[in-house]
Amino acid sequence: MKNIVLIGFMGSGKTSVGKSVAEKLNMSFIDLDRWIEERETMSIKEIFDRKGEEVFRKIECEAVAEVGNQKNSVIATGGGVVLNPKNLESLKETGLLIHLRVDAQTAYKRTRDHHHRPLLNVPNPLQHIEALLKQRQPFYEVVPNAVETSGRSLRDVVEDVIRIYRSAKGVR
């Protein structure tokens, strides 16, 4: 059975949606960032602070290759996983990629109190989110399946993800 791989910007709901989808479909749930933190025995913020974003992206790529080999799992990726096309290719081999779309205002509202996010530790987080989202949008758009999360309930987003998954499997 194929994995479900949730791709999207920070604050798009990958973790919340992923946990709920996994529960409803009786699948395992893997949060790629938490997996990296356990493997590296430090937080994502600590990895960024101590080793830099470039090293983190290399660690992330290795983690994608390992996690992608799991079966019957819902995988919530980090927001920047799309920056390396190799990551998407690897995840696509064993999973159905679904882009959870979010607008900048919603992403900001959902993440503004998340001080563990290294990319938001800047003077104007909303402006930074807008710039990052604009920069990453072309990478997200290559994912053929997408679900809008802004202004929608968790339940509705989860139902859409499950519908896309079942449709891809030929199940109603």
Note the pLDDT tens digit of each residue in 141-152. Answer: 999 999 999 999
Q: What domains can you pick out in the chain, each with its CATH number?
A: 3-169 (3.40.50.300)
Q: Do residues 95 and 75 make contact, with C-beta atoms less than 8 angstroms apart?
A: yes
Residue for token digits 């710039």?
A: 131
Report the distance separating Cα 136 and Cα 29, nearest Å.
Answer: 25
127 C-beta neighbours (distance < 10 Å), count: 12
The pTM of the full predicted model, rounded to 2 decimals, is: 0.91
Convert the pLDDT of each residue in 6-45 to its tens digit. 999 999 999 999 999 999 999 999 999 999 999 999 998 8
**pLDDT cut 90: percent of the chain above it:** 74
b/e sequence 131-165, b meaning 16+ C-beta within 10 Å: ebbeebeebbeebebbbbbbeeeeeebbebbeebb
Question: Using 50, 70 and 90 to split pLDDT, how confident is the model at 121?
Answer: low
Give the type of residue at 22.
A
